[in-house]
Amino acid sequence: MNQTIWKWHFIREAVKESFIKLNPFALWRNPVMLIVEIGSIIATFIFIGNIVKGLPFGFEMQISLWLWLTILFANFAEAFAEKAGKARANSLRQSRSQADAKKLLNEKGDIQIVSASELRKDDVILVSEGEMIPGDGDIIEGTALVDESAITGESAPVIRESGGDRSGVTGGTKVLSGIIRLRITANPGDTFLDRMIGMVEGANRQKTPNEIALEILLIALTVLFITVVAVLPAYAHYMGIAVSVVVLVSLLVCLLPTTIGGLLPAIGIAGMDRLIQHNVIALSGRAVEAAGDVNVVLLDKTGTITLGNRMAYEFLPVHGIEKNAFVKSAVLSSLADETPEGRSIIVLAKKELQVKGKDIRAPHESHFVSFTPQSRMSGIDIDNCKIRKGALDAVEAFIAEQGGSVSDNIRKDVENIARKGDTPLVVAENSKVIGMIRLKDIVKEGISQRIAHLRNMGIRSIMITGDNPLTAASIAAEAGVDDFIAEAKPETKLEAIRKYQDEGYLVAMIGDGTNDAPALAQADVAVAMNAGTQAAREAANMVDLDSSPTKLLEIVEIGKEILITRGALTTFSVANDVSKYFAIVPALFGSVYPVLGVLNIMRLTSPRSAVLSAVVFNALIIPLLIPLALRGVRYRVKSVSALLTRNILIYGLGGLLLPFIGIKLIDLLLIFLHLV
Amino acid sequence: MINLCIYSLFLGLSLVFGGILIGRYMANILTGNKGKFLTWLTPFENLLYRLAYIDAGQEMNWKTYTWALLAFNGIGLVFLFALQLVQGILPLNPDHLKSVRWDTALNTAVSFMTNTNWQSYSGETTMSYLTQMLGLTVQNFLSAATGIAALLAVIRGFIRKNTQLLGNFWVDLTRTTLYVLLPLSIILTVLLISQGVVQTFQPAISAETLEGGRQTIAVGPAASQIAIKQIGSNGGGFFNVNSAHPFENPNLFTNFLETFAILWLPTACVFMFGYMLKNQKQGNVIFAVMLMLFLISLGAALIAENQGNPLSERAGIAHGVNMEGKEMRFGVFHSVIWAVATTATSNGSVNSMHDSFMPLAGLVCMFNMGIGEVAFGGVGVGLISMIFYIILTMFLAGLMIGRTPEFLGKKLGPFEMVMAMIALLAPIVALLIIAGIAIAVPEGLASLNNTGAHGLSEILYAASSACGNNGSAFAGLNADTRFYNILLGIGMLVGRFATILPALALAGSLAEKKLIPTTQATFPTTGALFAIMVAAVVIIMGALTFFPFYSLGPILEHLVLYR
């Protein structure tokens, strides 16, 4: 995205738009720039007046020019930031389906062809292979392979099926195979795609509370500096100094927080755009800011922290049984087991037996026993040898049937495995237990680093699981989460969020299922996975198109970066003012009181060159900082004080000193070019 | 030199010790925790509530609290105004002083009600003993108590959560007066009387001088008023020359006592803040910020003043020691420390003539008032102003660490920002406009004793003093004209209520918010980084506002003087 954003036609269009944005009614949203515009108009009138009166006008012309440029630069920053979003919105718009839809009229399957724009909520439609899905909906029947690349940019198709948490489909995506019945969940104009277009385009961009608070600060500073400049002539007059209006306007514009005032809209837009680059669509700007403040995050164990299913981890033959023989028996018992656990046994066995790649086949004279809810065992009968695999109580029943019994030692071993939070499976051959398989929840690779990363940001991670406390504790310890809630029911999440919110915490949560919807609606920052149900996406305030459960880290970082960028540029802008005083005040009063020349610590050449240099610096700093505003000030995970010290040194102290150098250099250049 | 260092150290240590002691006492007593000592006063306190039909248990929301405060101050204003207009026909007027001119009376009423205690009049020739005692002294107590009551509401805004209630204004006012201001004033009065400060109802004494001339020596019930004038950040003198008068401040010991009293309660308020928050560190660190600002001011003023005056040097005075306008019994050091202490708090009493200070020392005093007196500040309101500066600081600091800003567990949103900006900028804007008007119209310029840069300083100083609710006078400007009485009166009202009203609104908004727990990601507001940032914000804000004006006043005067 960063390569694509600096395209020439973007720049060209943005330049055009910066002139359109000169319209004072458009600038009304940005009071600082509006004042600059009024100042520019005044300066321009004086410049024209001087031409008419035949007075020298070179200085007034240059000041007017640079004042107008100041506004244009600010407009450009905003227009340019909007461009990236607009381009993306356009490509999204193309995928908005104008196709026809097959509307089901009744249960019998009578179909009427209607246009997609006539579809209403709760209509039921039929979509078959190769067709575009005409609107957002939930699959009520069937399974389909869906190409969602138009929305997610991800080329691999995904499976969507009725029931469960993968039932939501989005209008504008395409069914590659399968036939599905959909219940439409959004009216045209209100679909996910529509909202997404609105968000990326910035059409329904509302100012966040923090943006408003910052704007209040900027307006207050504007009022203060207008007062300073407005009353200054009275004092000067008393001292016998006549000050030129053009210089006063220049002083005002230099003192106004034009840098942050000009870049503020761009910072917000660019922040949202960075989220989009991470394939996250924020449905409210407020949520992005809140993300920077999150201090508790709820994580589902399954799918987020662990791989999702229990995996075979260890073969434990009982005393007297050779390990390889046991592994082989275990494999035989699992050949008919299509559950993820069963498959993981075969995978582990292949590793143990070092028969990678080769198939393990059952002997010809064998009979598979599949898992049934009644027997709760799977296994195989080879001749007279019956191998069974299952939980202890099920296998115990089988052994008793065969006339055997389970020894206390085995019972104890099984208990030990369970105590460690793992799941023991017992394998029996006829009337004897031959060993156990330890199944384990496998924690995702890299998850503990990410959780540690969260902790360093000051965010507590809470794992939620339906497991018993023992199992939960062991996974929690391995993943390094700060706390866990075990034996959670669907409503537990909602309760947990409420509890943390009552204590004053800001809670983030990631969810996908329909039963997550209430909790998502309650959470301050709610990220729904795009693969999740429609209900979850409706309840959330952000949608992660990648459906990556740890996307929250990036979201929090971007939220923080937006705020840091605002703060840093505000500090920079205000710190800049000090040097501008030292440039302009001696220029204002020095002609009558040459002793005040002491204040001209930059040794600027002449009063006019000093004023012009300050105005030029003030204007140029805006385009120079556009890349920073768009990219954002990087958030670094370190202690809060270290982060603040760093930013104060760079943007506070830097903002204090940099303009002294900049103004001096511009002064030298102006003299060199004989512009003053 | 060593003596002065020991003196400063002693003053500093007594302040820390005394401030902590009284701060803790206030935190207890003002929240209704009387302890064993004072329970015997409870029936008396309750009697006062019964007499005034006040339900002491009824807490107020911020609007009710504000109305109570405004009504109370309004009544005080009208009463004091009327009292001056009719003092000529009232008793306790042994010197038969006439009723006060209406504009002077109005200015004085506003001045004492707003805790400014700017005096455009001359005490001994204008105000009867009755007016001094029943009018001015009473307002000295009540305006100080009002400031502390407002602070209490703000502190409750930070402590409480999910409520609208901020306490009861009448109870806060009564307790502050009864348990804090009265006892401390009585102790100080007695100490001052013991040192020769006058306290009498006798009329002025007519004495024969050694040369045979006649001299009228004004006396009166001075000590009681002087005690509260220093303790309550008031500063309005009984006599015209204020604490430079030997009957107000006879010797070095009383000078020490009064310097201490000037800084005592403002300091105590900061420690009280820490105790009430149950976060003493927070109180301590704000004290450190204020101390830092105070020491910077003091250092700058001492350097400027000890440079010596080239004009005196040319006139043959050794090293040009700038003794013009200073009392021989105090000298440069004690005059400067007093000047800084009174302008950095909102006290405004003087023991030397600030008009005669070196230009940069005058600038320091002006700056202290211009930024709204936050180096300890006035009782109650000084800390309030500091809290507004802290809100501004925390807004920037919060952003720069990537969080929406917060302070003491309260999120700072648009509403808090509006209030902070009004409170910080309205007095400054009023100051610049008022001085700008005065310097542009003949009525303003007619009162000047000086021309050029010094004249500009005189007008700027008067406006800073009024809008900062300080009351300190540069002198050299005849402020007892209808023009200045009204203009500066407006300044005092803006300075006072544009601080207190936003503060109460802020308190109301904060109390309704929830308390956010402190985590690893919260910026620690009890560290050195916080202290330095707040001090820097105060100084930079002030410098950005006043630089062009000071450059035409004291800075220009300095440059010309030392050319």
Q: Express as a percent the part of chain A with pLDDT over 90.
A: 35
d(CA B47, CA B42): 8
Most B-contacting residue of A207, A208, A215, A224 (CB-CB within 10 A), to test interface: A224
pLDDT at residue A205 in the model: 64
d(CA B526, CA B536): 16
Nearest to B548 among A209, A504, A581 (CB): A581
Q: Is A546 a catalytic residue?
A: no
Q: Is the pLDDT of residue A512 over 80?
A: no
pLDDT at residue A308 in the model: 65
Nearest to B429 among A223, A458, A641 (CB): A223
d(CA A393, CA A400): 10
pLDDT at residue A202 in the model: 64
Chain B positions in Cβ-Cβ contact with residue A506 (cut-off 8 Å):
516
- Per annotation, catalytic residue among A138, A194, A300, A667: A300
Test A563 with B403 for CB contact under 8 angstroms: yes
The CB density around residue A548, as the number of other CB atoms within 10 Å, is: 18
Q: What's the rounded mean pLDDT across residues B419-435?
A: 97
Q: Under the phi-then-psi rule, with left for phi > 0, alpha for psi from -120 to 50, and beta for the rest, what region is A286? A: alpha
| DSSP helix/strand/coil, A134 | coil
CB hemisphere CA count around A629 (13 angstroms): 31
- Dump strand ranges (E) for A407-558: 423-429, 432-443, 460-464, 483-485, 507-511, 525-529, 542-544
Q: Is the pLDDT of residue A100 over 70?
A: yes
Interchain CB contact of B372 with A (< 8 Å):
no
pLDDT at residue B510 in the model: 97
pLDDT class of A5 with cuts at 50, 70, 90 = low
pLDDT class of A1 with cuts at 50, 70, 90 = very low
Q: How far is A218 from chain B (nearest CA, A)?
A: 10
Nearest to A235 among B425, B524, B552 (CB): B552
Interchain CB contact of B173 with A (< 8 Å):
no
Interchain CB contact of B310 with A (< 8 Å):
no
Chain B positions in Cβ-Cβ contact with residue A564 (cut-off 8 Å):
399-402
What tokens appear for B531 in the block?
């202290």
Burial call A257-276: b when 16+ CB within 10 Å, e when fewer:
bbbbbbbbbbbbbbbbbbbb
Burial call A463-494: b when 16+ CB within 10 Å, e when fewer:
bbbbbeeebbbbbbebbbbeebbbebeeebbb
Q: Is the pLDDT of residue A575 over 90?
A: yes
Interchain CB contact of B547 with A (< 8 Å):
yes
Q: How far is A432 from chain B (nearest CA, A)?
A: 56
Contact residues for B340 (Cβ-Cβ < 8 A; gap 6+): B294, B297, B298, B301, B364, B365, B368
Q: Is the pLDDT of residue A485 over 80?
A: yes
Q: Is the pLDDT of residue B440 over 80?
A: yes
Q: Is the pLDDT of residue A372 over 90?
A: no
Residue count (chain A): 676
Test A213 with B440 for CB contact under 8 angstroms: no
Q: What's the rounded mean pLDDT across residues A350-362?
A: 72
pLDDT per residue over B506-539, tens digit each? 999 999 999 988 888 888 999 999 999 999 999 9
pLDDT at residue A493 in the model: 87
pLDDT per residue over A211-240, tens digit each? 899 999 999 999 999 999 999 999 999 999
Test B548 with A295 for CB contact under 8 angstroms: no
Test B400 with A235 for CB contact under 8 angstroms: no
pLDDT at residue A359 in the model: 64
pLDDT at residue A235 in the model: 96
Chain A positions in Cβ-Cβ contact with residue B525 (cut-off 8 Å):
none
pLDDT class of A203 with cuts at 50, 70, 90 = low
* Better pLDDT: A303 or B65: B65
Q: Is the pLDDT of residue A588 over 70?
A: yes
pLDDT per residue over B161-187, tens digit each? 999 999 999 999 999 999 999 999 999
Which of A179-188, A261-270, B454-463 has the weakest average pLDDT?
A179-188
* Unique residue bearing structure tokens 């804090």: B180
d(CA B128, CA B125): 8
Q: Express as a percent the part of chain A with pLDDT over 70.
A: 95
Chain B positions in Cβ-Cβ contact with residue A213 (cut-off 8 Å):
395, 405, 412-414, 416-417
pLDDT at residue A4 in the model: 53
Sequence ranges of the domains in chain B: 2-206+218-277
Test A459 with B524 for CB contact under 8 angstroms: no
What tokens appear for A575 in the block?
């710190």
Residues 497 to 526 of B: which have CB under 8 A from any A CB?
A: 514-517, 519-524
Test A209 with B414 for CB contact under 8 angstroms: yes
pLDDT class of A89 with cuts at 50, 70, 90 = confident
Q: How far is B36 from chain A (nearest CA, A)?
A: 36
pLDDT class of B358 with cuts at 50, 70, 90 = very high
pLDDT class of A96 with cuts at 50, 70, 90 = low
Q: Is the pLDDT of residue A382 over 70?
A: yes
Q: What's the rounded mean pLDDT across residues A95-100?
A: 66
pLDDT at residue A178 in the model: 84
| DSSP helix/strand/coil, B255 | helix
pLDDT per residue over B69-115, tens digit each? 999 999 999 999 999 999 999 999 988 999 999 999 999 999 999 99
Q: Work out the mean pLDDT of chain A and round it to a whole number.
A: 86
Interchain CB contact of B555 with A (< 8 Å):
yes
pTM, two decimal places: 0.89
pLDDT per residue over B108-135, tens digit each? 999 999 999 999 998 888 999 999 999 9
Identify whether the C-beta of residue A133 lies closer than 8 Å to the C-beta of residue A167: no
Test A213 with B521 for CB contact under 8 angstroms: no
Test A232 with B445 for CB contact under 8 angstroms: no
Q: Is the pLDDT of residue A434 over 60?
A: yes
Residues 130 to 169 of B: which have CB under 8 A from any A CB?
A: none
Q: Is the pLDDT of residue A3 over 50?
A: no
Chain A positions in Cβ-Cβ contact with residue B536 (cut-off 8 Å):
652
pLDDT per residue over B447-470, tens digit each? 998 899 999 999 999 999 999 999
Identify whether the C-beta of residue A417 lies closer than 8 Å to the C-beta of residue A438: yes
pLDDT class of A360 with cuts at 50, 70, 90 = low
Q: Is the pLDDT of residue B420 over 80?
A: yes
Q: How far is A230 from chain B (nearest CA, A)?
A: 9
Chain B positions in Cβ-Cβ contact with residue A286 (cut-off 8 Å):
none
Residue type, A106: N
pLDDT at residue A6 in the model: 61
pLDDT at residue A133 in the model: 86
Contact residues for A235 (Cβ-Cβ < 8 A; gap 6+): B435, B436, B439, B456, B548, B549, B552
pLDDT at residue A397 in the model: 87
Test B437 with A234 for CB contact under 8 angstroms: yes
pLDDT at residue B517 in the model: 86
Q: Mind giving me the DSSP string for B484-519? A: HHHHHHHHHHHHHHHHHHHHHHHHHHHHHSPPPPP-
d(CA B554, CA B358): 9
Nearest to B414 among A216, A503, A599 (CB): A216
Which of A550-554, B122-126, B483-487, B557-561 has the weakest average pLDDT?
A550-554
Q: Work out the mean pLDDT of chain B and round it to a whole number.
A: 94
pLDDT at residue A204 in the model: 57
Q: What's the rounded mean pLDDT across residues A240-254?
A: 95
| DSSP helix/strand/coil, A319 | coil
Identify whether the C-beta of residue B462 lies closer than 8 Å to the C-beta of residue B488: yes
The complex's ipTM works out to 0.95
Nearest to B399 among A216, A236, A567 (CB): A567
d(CA B305, CA B318): 14
pLDDT at residue A63 in the model: 96
pLDDT per residue over A111-137, tens digit each? 888 887 788 888 888 888 888 888 888
Chain A positions in Cβ-Cβ contact with residue B533 (cut-off 8 Å):
648
Interchain CB contact of B395 with A (< 8 Å):
yes
Chain A positions in Cβ-Cβ contact with residue B453 (cut-off 8 Å):
239
Nearest to A581 among B452, B519, B547 (CB): B547
